[in-house]
Amino acid sequence: FLSFFILGFAFGAFLMVWNVTSYILHAHHFPFLATLHRPFGVYSLNNSLIPIAFLIVYIIQLLVFQRDEGLLRFPVAALRLGGLFSGAIVFIALSMAYFFSTNKNIFQLLGLKGKEEPTAFDDSGPTWGSTTGHMEIRVATYLNHELRLKAARPVGHYPAALIFRVYRQHHMNALFIELTALLLIVVLGHLIDYPVFRIPAASSILLLFAIVIMVVGAVSYWLKGWKILVSIIGILLIDLIIGQNLLQYKNRAYGIGYAPTEQPYTLDRLQTLNGPAYTDKDKTNMLTILQNWRNKFPADTPPKMVFINCSGGGLRASMFVMDALQQADSITGGNLMEHTILMSGASGGMIAAAYYRELYYQSISDEAIRPYDAAYLNKISSDMLNALAYTSVVNDLFFPWKNYTYNDLNYRKDRGYIFEKALNENTDSVLHRPISYYAAAEQQATIPLLLFAPTIINDERRLFIGAQSYSFLGYPVNRRNDYSPPEVDGVDIHYLLEDMDVSNLLLTSAIRMSCTFPYILPNVHLPTTPEVELMDAGIRDNYGVDAAVRFADTFKEWIDRETSGVIMLNLRGLEQDVPIRTKISQGVLEKIFSPIGNLYLNWVEVQDYQNDFLLHHLHTRLDVPLEVISIAYQPSAGARRASLSFHLTNREKRDIMESASSTESREAYAHLAELLRTP
C-alpha cells in the first residue's frame, strides 16, 4: 500500500506540474479565468481530460499487471489501487490548498467581495479587447468547481494591465512551487544512502518527467520567442564545456588509486604486457594452482575438471544461475564446486557466481552456512531497480556532488555507487571485499577461480579482472612467432594499472564493471592515457565460454595428463535456439532502423554460433573427453520471457524457478552428477 501511495503522490505531483506549467504558458489565452473565484482550480478541472484518460488506461493496465505479473488476487490489487488514489488525492489537495490561499482574481485585487461587478477601473490604460484580444481563444462555456456548465464572462472591457497583473501573481506563486520542488529534489539527492527514501522506480520516472516539464516550461516562459535559439546555444555551450573536461564527472572503480600519474594504454605497451615476461609468470602461477586443485583428489584417480560459464541477463540471469548452482551442487553432493577450476561469464550471471562462491567459501569453515538455502535465492533476486532509478533522477540528473570514501580514497556517489550499495544490502555485504581477499584461497584451490572480463569500449578489447593474473588469455602465445602474429585482444588489470593498488579493488566494483549495461550504469573510467572506459562483458562474450576455452587450451597438456576429462557447464539466462523471427521489417521507419535493431537483437545469437565452434575446436585439441552441459532458462509455454532488468515480478521469479527445476534441467543435473562420479 505504501509503495502505491508514493506512486500516487508522484502521479499527483506530475499532474500538478503539468497543469501549473501549462497554466503559466497558456492561461493568458483564456482571460475570463482571471475573473473567477479560483482560476487555477477551474483551469485544472477543464484541463483534466487527458490526465483522466491516461489514469483510466493506467488503472486497467495496473490491475492486469498485478494479476498476471504480481500474481495477486483482486482484493489485494484493489487495496494497492486505493493507495494510488490516496497518494494522488493528498498531493493534489495540498497543492490546491496552497493555490487557493495565495492566488487572487481581479475582484480580490480590486478589493471587491463576492461576485460584485466593478463599475469603474483606476487603470486608464488600454483594454484587453483593444490590445491583446487577438491572443484570446474564444470559450463559450466551462465547467466550474461545482461541476456545472457556466458561460464564460466577456472581459474585453477590462484593462489589459489588470488581467496581466492577475496572471503575473499566479505565475510567481507557481514558480515558487516549482523552485521548491527542485530544491526538494536536491535534498532527496542527499538521502540516496537511506533505503527508506528510495521511492519506487515508477515514481522516479514520473518525477523525471515532472522535472523535464518544469525546465521546459521555465525556459519557454522566461525566454519566450528566443527559447529555441537560446536552448540550442545552451546545449552547444554545455557540450563544449563538457568536451573540455570542465564540469565533467567520470565514474571510477572503488579501491583503485587514481594517482596523478596515469599508465599508458598503447599498442606497444599492450604487446609488452602480454609478452613472455608476463605470460610465462602467470602460467607458472596457474600451474601451481592447478596442481593444488589436483591434490584434492586421489592420486590414482584423475578427476573431471569443471568450468562454469554464467551468462549475462540482469536479475533474470542472477536468479537462474543461482538456482541452477544450488541445485547442481546439491545433487552432486557438493562435488560441483570441488571439481570446478574456473567460473567466468558476464553481467547478472557473474553476480550469482560471486555470491555462491562466497557462500561456499564460508560454508567450509562454518557449518551454519548452507549455500543451498532458498533464502539466498530470494536475496540475489531482490529489487535493485528502485535504488538505481531514484539515484538517476535525484542525483545523477544534476551532478553527483556527494563523496564516498573507501580506504582513504574519495569517489563520487552516483548510480554506480548505489548499485554496489544495493547489492551489498541484498547480500548482507558478503561481497564487500577487495579481490585480494580471495587470492590465497584461490591459490590453494580451496575455491574456484573467478574471472571478470568487461569490455574496453575504446577498442573492444577485454580487461581481465580477478584475484590472480591472466595475461595468457589476452594473446595466443603459440602464435607469437608467426610471420603475421595476431593482435592482443585483452589485458590484465594488475599489469595495466601497476602500482595503483589494484589488489584493493572491491569485488562489487569488479561485478559492476562486468554488468555495466549502457545508460543503466555509468561507464567506469580507468587512470590510463588515453583514458580507458569499460562496459558490459556481454559485448564480447555474454556466456563466458570464450574465456573458459582459452584457459583450457592454454593448459591443454596439463589437462590431458592430470584429468579424466573436461566438463563445460553453461548456465544460461537465455534460452537456446531462439525462434526465428518471421517479420524483419514492415514500415518505412522499421526499414530504416531494422539493420541496427537486428544486429542488436541477434548479437547473443552470433556469440552462440561462435562459441559452438570454439567448443568444437577445444574438443579436437584435447585428448581427454569434453562434455558440454547447457542448462538454460526457458520460459513456460505461452509465457513471456522474464525481463532483462534489475527487477523481477512474482510471475517472473516463479517462471525462473520452474525452469531451473524443469525436467530438462533435472536431467542435466543428473547427467552432471553421473559424470563427476565416473573417473
Which among 500, 364, 505, 513 is positioned nearest to 441, based on CA atoms? 364
Looking at 211, 244, 277, the residue that finishes a domain is: 244
**Amino acid (one-letter) located at 363:** S
**Amino acid (one-letter) located at 230:** V
Percent of the chain with pLDDT over 70: 89
Same structural domain, 562 and 653: yes
Which among 510, 519, 513, 514 is positioned nearest to 388, based on CA atoms? 519
Same structural domain, 554 and 625: yes
Same structural domain, 508 and 463: yes
State how far the Cα of 374 lies from the Cα of 361, in Å rounded to an integer.
18
pTM of the model: 0.88
Same structural domain, 662 and 618: yes
Q: What is the pLDDT of residue 599?
A: 62
Q: What is the pLDDT of residue 259?
A: 74
Instruction: Dihedral sign for Cα 442, 443, 444, 448, please.
Output: positive
Beta bridge partners of 1: none
> Cell digits for 244?
573540455
Entry field: residues in the chain: 679
547 falls within a domain: yes
Pairing assessment for the beta strands 304-310 and 565-572 based on DSSP bridges:
parallel
Query: pLDDT tens for residues 432-458?
Result: 999 999 999 999 999 999 999 999 999
HEC profile of 178-230: HHHHHHHHHHHHCCCCCHHHCCCHHHHHHHHHHHHHHHHHHHHHHHHHHHHHH
Task: Give the residue with greater pLDDT, 588 vs 271.
Answer: 271
Query: pLDDT tens for residues 442-499?
Result: 999 999 999 999 999 999 999 999 999 999 999 876 776 777 788 889 999 999 998 8
- Overall average pLDDT of the 85-97 stretch: 88
Same structural domain, 361 and 436: yes
> Cell digits for 427?
547480500
Q: Does residue 658 have a pLDDT over 90?
A: yes
Phi and psi torsions of 533, nearest 5°:
-115, 140
HEC profile of 617-672: HHHHHCCCCEEEEEEECCCCCCCCCCCCCCCCCHHHHHHHHHHHCCHHHHHHHHHH
**Amino acid (one-letter) located at 418:** I
- Overall average pLDDT of the 81-97 stretch: 88
Looking at 210, 244, 278, the residue that finishes a domain is: 244
Q: Any idea of the CA torsion for 562, 564, 570, 576, to the nearest 10 degrees?
A: 140
- Overall average pLDDT of the 297-307 stretch: 94
- Overall average pLDDT of the 503-529 stretch: 92
How many CA atoms, within 13 angstroms, populate the side-chain half-sphere of residue 239? 6
- Would you tell me how many other CB atoms lie within 10 Å of the CB of residue 637? 5
Query: pLDDT tens for residues 234-257?
Result: 888 877 776 666 666 788 999 998
Task: Give the Å distances, CA to CA, from 184 to 87, 180, 394, 413, 576.
Answer: 18, 6, 9, 18, 48
CB 633 within 8 A of CB 572: yes
HEC profile of 398-459: CCCCCEEEECCEEEECCHHHHHHHHHHHHCCCCCCCEHHHHHHHHHCCCCCEEEECCEECCC
**Helical H runs in 298-402?**
314-331, 335-339, 347-365, 374-380, 385-391
Q: Does residue 660 have a pLDDT over 90?
A: yes
Instruction: Dihedral sign for Cα 432, 437, 442, 446, please.
Output: negative
Any idea which of 18-32, 374-388, 586-600, 646-660 has the lowest mean pLDDT?
586-600
Same structural domain, 199 and 337: no
117 falls within a domain: no
- Residue identified by cell 595503483 is 500
**Environment class of 97 (CB within 10 Å of its CB; exposed 0-12, middle 13-18, buried 19+):** exposed
Rg (CA), the chain: 31
Same structural domain, 71 and 155: yes
State how far the Cα of 70 lies from the Cα of 212, in Å rounded to an integer.
30
State how far the Cα of 649 lies from the Cα of 381, in Å rounded to an integer.
10
350 falls within a domain: yes
57 falls within a domain: yes
CB 410 within 8 A of CB 404: yes
How many CA atoms, within 13 angstroms, populate the side-chain half-sphere of residue 41? 22
The secondary structure element, H or E, covering residue 150 is: strand 149-151
Pairing assessment for the beta strands 403-406 and 455-456 based on DSSP bridges:
unpaired
State how far the Cα of 462 lies from the Cα of 555, in Å rounded to an integer.
20
Task: Give the Å distances, CA to CA, from 176 to 17, 56, 164.
Answer: 12, 31, 18
Same structural domain, 295 and 200: no
pLDDT tier, 114 (very low <50, low <70, confident <90, very high otherwise): low
652 falls within a domain: yes
CB 503 within 8 A of CB 466: no
Q: What is the pLDDT of residue 589?
A: 61
Same structural domain, 451 and 524: yes
- Overall average pLDDT of the 160-182 stretch: 76
410 falls within a domain: no
Domain containing 77 equals 1-111+136-244
Q: What is the pLDDT of residue 425?
A: 95
Structural domains in the chain (count): 2
390 falls within a domain: no
DSSP string, 74-110: HHHHHHHHHHHHHHHHHHHHHHHHHHHHH---HHHHT
Same structural domain, 72 and 156: yes
DSSP string, 278-291: HHHHHHHHHHHHHH
How many CA atoms, within 13 angstroms, populate the side-chain half-sphere of residue 271? 7
Q: What is the pLDDT of residue 476?
A: 78
* DSSP at 568: E
Query: pLDDT tens for residues 559-581?
Result: 999 999 999 999 998 877 766 66
417 falls within a domain: no
Pairing assessment for the beta strands 340-345 and 449-451 based on DSSP bridges:
parallel
Q: What is the pLDDT of residue 338?
A: 94
Q: Does residue 124 have a pLDDT over 60?
A: no
Q: What is the pLDDT of residue 179?
A: 78
Same structural domain, 217 and 308: no
Pairing assessment for the beta strands 524-526 and 490-492 based on DSSP bridges:
unpaired
Same structural domain, 441 and 540: yes
pLDDT tier, 31 (very low <50, low <70, confident <90, very high otherwise): confident
* DSSP at 15: H
Looking at 180, 214, 244, the residue that finishes a domain is: 244
Taking all residues of the chain, what is their mean pLDDT, rounded to a whole number? 86
- Would you tell me how many other CB atoms lie within 10 Å of the CB of residue 479? 11
CATH number, domain of 653, equals 3.40.1090
Q: Three-state SS for 154? A: coil
Q: Three-state SS for 159? A: strand
